[in-house]
Structure 1
Amino acid sequence: MPANTNRARIRPVGSDGRTLDTARMEKLEHSFRSWAQAPVRSDTRRSRERILAIFLLIRNTGARLNEVLRLRASEMDFKHHIVHFRKGGAKKSRSVEISETLSSELQKVLDRSESRRAANDLFQVDPGHVRRKFYERAEAVGISREMGTPDVLRRSRAVELLQNNMPLPVVQKILGHGTPNLAASYVEFSDENIRQVARYFVDKETSRKTSARNAFFGKISRIRKGDIQSLVEIASFAGHTVVAVITSDSLSNLGLKQGDLVIAEVKAPWVTIHKSDKEPDSTALNRFRGIVRRISRGRITSEVVVRVAEGLDLCSIITEESRKRLDIREKDEVWAAFNAFSVVLHVD
């Protein structure tokens, strides 16, 4: 099957020095929390809690500072753990999923407000004052003020999501980047589809599971049913077509049909690496062009991570002897391939 190389969209993220990695963002969060909890006076503590809440919203949603400052209490849905951001006036711009933990924390900040009016005006703080507090908290933990701005935090969140393999269109939707880049796909993805994927990542992040490597999020575009086994094609958010072969009994038991949103996963040992310019001749129906992003070498086996699109890494575990024989290095262009029988479908 023809492969989608996505070369124009494959590039390193977070390596330009203009973003914070997860460790430094967690360090900055600890700085804000310690500062917010330090005051003895309740009014001072409430004031600092507002700044902490602003930080947490930007840190977790990637929102712009002015979007957070415009938020009203009524625009935070604590039952469904969603924040609704407006472009201006009463018009809602987008809805962003947040974790149950963050939702509960924000609700407590609102509950501690002195009045309903105070709650509605919770984030109406001078932007200059907010930025100064961001600078102070950053410098307190050895991060330069230039790297402690709300804009840097917003960019850092976007990079973090991409590095955790969240599909690019979902990241674009969360950040409010207009129409998501779905041009590479011939299957339409609704706002509800994007919301479902965003919720999956938020829940996974909260439970501290491993990142969703080797996971393709997409819709079933075609099903060819056989007597014993059936072939299922999935059009992914990134524009790739993934082919899976499952038993016809599994197809019926899962209730799969064309248009369903699914997750197609493949284990790393089943992903093979081919170092060639030409698409490899192989019985593997799934073949993707990408760039080697990282290699973790071991005495017997090595882990090779190939970026096949923004927000989509494929991890392969091969023998170190094979890696040396093929001379696979970081930044090499390679092909990652896997058999349709190795694909597992989930309907989370």
Structure 2
Amino acid sequence: MAGSRDTADAPPGPASSDGPPRQAAAFFVPGGVKHLDTLDLERLAESFTLWAAGARRADSAASRRRVRLIFLVIRHTGARLGEVLAIDDRTDIDLSGGVLVFGGGEGEARREVRLPEVLSRELTRAMADPGLFPFHGRLFHLDQGFVRRKFYERATACGLQKDMANPSALRRSRAIELMRQGAPLLVVQKILGHSTPVLTASYLDFSEKDRRRIERRVLAREAKRKTSARNSFYGKVTRVLQGDMQSIVEIATLGGHSLISVITNESLDILHIRPGTFLTAEIKAPFVVVTAGPTPPATSAENVFCGVVEKVVAGELTGEALVRLADGTRICAAVTAESVRALGLSPGDTAFASCNAFAVVLRAD
């Protein structure tokens, strides 16, 4: 949020004393810098999605989808609003190559930015949308003032200060998000097209080959956090309760879930965990309990998730049940084959997956 002193993801262990600390562990956001963190960006994106889906007339629906697409490009590339509004969707978007081209006009330097998986999917969908066919070639060509007003409206609608959806704040937010994920400062500078580094890093340099390699690695890790890993949640620490030997850590995930973990105080210090830290929480499959039916189970487990059974597999001795949550997260429970049969679960059934706080492992990467 605006004015926060957010710390970035901490490394798995303490920084080495004989070398510089990792950038993601060392930087913080100064107090006056307006930006949104990853959870707030996802909340704003959801506001745009609901708004676009709520249009009743065809012309209004097309206009809203175009504004939403402009937001998504800025949110995932950190481009300037003027750059996005100048995109020619026939020539500047290379979906097969996975890149988006900015600039290249008279007096402008051409800049290629790799497309994150989520943005590539959205652009592919837009290119195939019959309602947007009349706008091909000028899909992004909307009035700046109109776009800014709609950005401010969406921010207000989801409980954010309207100026937090200013294109410059969104651009800054993407830069901070990339640095939190370990992208070196000068790589972020080149992705966003800054003339100078946002933070002091003049001693760093990267070849174009290195930049592309690092960018691919960061985007792949981001996609994995959001979509592919089973029993894995990515989110922000909202509260830490420290005891004499162990600590309770509460996490708000990207999908809107609340998760509780208990870790040792030593791990808390090593991972530099505090409110505002972003990290990955993993649950070991043997510690997940699945309960059939639409009624929440009577359990002492701190973490209970409602979902739909996606797959049930029974082997000779063991089996597994896979429960898909509303946000797409999959939770796998490893159980005995006898338990699989006793549960009587079938794909499509409503079920609850639960685990206690001691089964949740935290990784600050």
Report what 1:264 is aligned to: none
Could you give the per-residue CA deviations for residues 19-50 of structure 1, whole angstroms, max 9, x where no partner exists? 11111111111110111111233222111111
Structure 2 distance, partners of 1:32, 1:46, is 13
Residue 46 in structure 1 maps to residue 62 in structure 2: yes
Report what 1:204 is aligned to: 221
Structure 2 distance, partners of 1:198, 1:162, is 11
Instruction: Output the amino acid matched with 1:64.
Output: R
Match among 19, 22, 31 for residue 3 of structure 1: 19
Residue 166 in structure 1 maps to residue 200 in structure 2: no
- Specify the SS of the correspondent of 2:45: helix
- Specify the SS of the correspondent of 1:208: helix
Instruction: Output the amino acid matched with 1:75.
Output: D
Instruction: Output the amino acid matched with 1:140.
Output: A
Could you give the per-residue CA deviations for residues 159-193 of structure 1, whole angstroms, max 9, x where no partner exists? 111122222121111111136677435xx632121
Q: Is the 8 A contact 2:62 2:131 kept in 1?
A: no
Report what 2:79 is aligned to: 63
Match among 40, 47, 51 for residue 24 of structure 1: 40
CA gap of 1:134–1:14, structure 2 versus 1, over 3 A, is farther
Match among 112, 118, 121 for residue 138 of structure 2: 121
Structure 2 distance, partners of 1:46, 1:30, is 17
Instruction: Output the amino acid matched with 1:137.
Output: R
Instruction: Output the amino acid matched with 2:117.
Output: E
Residue 37 in structure 1 maps to residue 53 in structure 2: yes
- Map 1:220-259; keep pairs closer than 5 Å: none
CA gap of 1:92–1:17, structure 2 versus 1, over 3 A, is closer
CA gap of 1:144–1:205, structure 2 versus 1, over 3 A, is same
Residue 79 in structure 1 maps to residue 116 in structure 2: no
Runs (4 or more) in structure 1 with deviation over 2 Å come to 1-7, 14-17, 40-43, 87-93, 110-118, 178-185, 294-303, 318-324
- Map 1:1-348; keep pairs closer than 5 Å: 3-4=19-20, 11-13=27-29, 15-16=31-32, 18-73=34-89, 74-86=91-103, 88-89=105-106, 91-112=108-129, 118-178=135-195, 183-185=202-204, 189-208=206-225, 297=242, 300=245, 320=265
Q: Is the 8 A contact 1:21 1:156 kept in 2?
A: yes
Q: Is the 8 A contact 1:14 1:159 kept in 2?
A: no
TM-score, normalising length from structure 2?
Answer: 0.54
Unaligned 5+ segments in structure 2 are 1-16, 228-238, 249-262, 275-365
Instruction: Output the amino acid matched with 1:69.
Output: L
Instruction: Output the amino acid matched with 2:66.
Output: R
Aligned-pair distance for 1:300? 4.0
CA gap of 1:297–1:77, structure 2 versus 1, over 3 A, is farther
Report what 1:225 is aligned to: none
Structure 2 distance, partners of 1:84, 1:51, is 19
Structure 1 distance, partners of 2:241, 2:207, is 37
- Specify the SS of the correspondent of 2:174: helix
Structure 2 distance, partners of 1:321, 1:23, is 27
Could you give the per-residue CA deviations for residues 85-117 of structure 1, whole angstroms, max 9, x where no partner exists? 116438552111122332132122233367877
Structure 2 distance, partners of 1:69, 1:177, is 18
Instruction: Output the amino acid matched with 1:37.
Output: A
Q: How many residues align?
A: 228
When structure 1 is superposed on structure 2, of 84-93 and 15-24 the one drifting more is: 84-93
Structure 2 distance, partners of 1:125, 1:322, is 50
Structure 1 distance, partners of 2:209, 2:190, is 11
Identity across the alignment (%): 40
CA gap of 1:17–1:184, structure 2 versus 1, over 3 A, is closer
Aligned-pair distance for 1:319? 6.5
TM-score, normalising length from structure 1?
Answer: 0.56
Aligned-pair distance for 1:52? 0.5
CA gap of 1:298–1:161, structure 2 versus 1, over 3 A, is farther
Q: Is the 8 A contact 1:37 1:45 kept in 2?
A: yes
Structure 1 distance, partners of 2:266, 2:120, is 49
Q: Is the 8 A contact 1:14 1:156 kept in 2?
A: no
Q: Is the 8 A contact 1:93 1:176 kept in 2?
A: no
Instruction: Output the amino acid matched with 2:213.
Output: Q
Structure 2 distance, partners of 1:21, 1:144, is 13
When structure 1 is superposed on structure 2, of 141-150 and 102-111 the one drifting more is: 102-111
Unaligned 5+ segments in structure 1 are 211-293, 304-317, 331-348
